[in-house]
């Protein structure tokens, strides 16, 4: 939220949110004067985001669909908080609540797709702002973004207590070598900014 507010100082920018959920970030961006399109694969999320935009009297175009459904737009800024929690299943679920958080074995299935989608929809000078847990790989995201020809860096980090999903997976995460410390009860959230050079 802070990163979006800070980076969207110029009103009128075309913003795309990938995986909008409640629409909170999309509404926040619209409040900064951005022209916002938001996409989510969940019908409930789309309804919720539309309601939130209406309640806050902000104009946000909310579309139902997969990330790939926006592959042909042109945006100044792409924002995303994708599902990134490592999960015992290799692929994210096709339906149900866990689609909001499960990101495949290493947590990167949707993260990597967001990077690739952002690279195709960003116009010249465009920017991606994305957040995910350090657990699914900070260097992996920087490498992916650099590999797509983007200039990428970490702009924020914050330690937050594990939520219920992480807590319910502690043993599995430890077994996977994704956590070293048995007493760990926090994860680090990392915000990335990538620009088209």
Ligand X SMILES: C[S@@+](CC[C@H](N)C(=O)[O-])C[C@H]1O[C@@H](n2cnc3c(N)ncnc32)[C@H](O)[C@@H]1O
x-marked contacts with ligand X along 45-74 as a string, rule CB under 6 A = x--------------------xx-------
- Binding residue (CB under 6 A) for ligand X from 15, 36, 41, 78: 41
- Binding residue (CB under 6 A) for ligand X from 19, 104, 107, 126: 19
CA distance 191 to 48: 25
Query: What is the β-pairing status of strands 186-196 and 150-161?
Result: antiparallel
Burial of 95 (0-12, 13-18, 19+ CB in 10 A): exposed
CA distance 116 to 119: 5
- Binding residue (CB under 6 A) for ligand X from 82, 86, 107, 126: 82
Q: What radius of gyration do the chain's Cα atoms show?
A: 16
CB of 15 to ligand X, least distance (A): 13
Residue 117 touching ligand X (CB under 6 A): no
Beta bridge mates, 109:
none
Q: Using the minimum distance from each CB to ligand X, give the nearer residue, 33 or 93.
A: 93
Binding site for ligand X (CB under 6 A): 19-22, 24-25, 39-42, 45, 66-67, 81-83, 99-101, 110
């Amino acid at each position: 939220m802070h990163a979006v507010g800070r980076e969207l100082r110029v009103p009128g920018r075309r913003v795309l949110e990938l995986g909008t959920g409640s629409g909170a970030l999309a509404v926040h961006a619209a409040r900064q004067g951005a022209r916002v399109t938001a996409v989510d694969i969940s019908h409930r999320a789309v309804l919720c985001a539309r309601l939130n935009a209406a309640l806050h009297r902000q104009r946000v175009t909310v579309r139902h669909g997969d990330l790939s459904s926006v592959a042909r737009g042109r945006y100044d800024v792409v924002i995303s908080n994708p599902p990134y929690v490592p999960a015992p299943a290799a692929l994210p679920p096709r339906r149900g609540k866990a689609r909001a958080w499960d990101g495949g074995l290493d947590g990167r299935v949707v993260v990597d797709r967001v990077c690739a989608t952002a690279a195709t929809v960003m116009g010249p000078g465009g920017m991606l702002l994305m957040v995910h847990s350090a657990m699914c790989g900070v260097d992996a995201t920087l490498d992916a973004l650099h590999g797509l020809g983007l200039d990428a860096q970490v702009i924020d980090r914050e330690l937050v207590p594990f939520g219920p999903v992480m807590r319910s997976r502690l043993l599995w995460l430890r077994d996977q070598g994704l956590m070293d410390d048995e007493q760990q009860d926090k994860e680090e959230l990392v915000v990335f900014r990538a620009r088209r050079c």
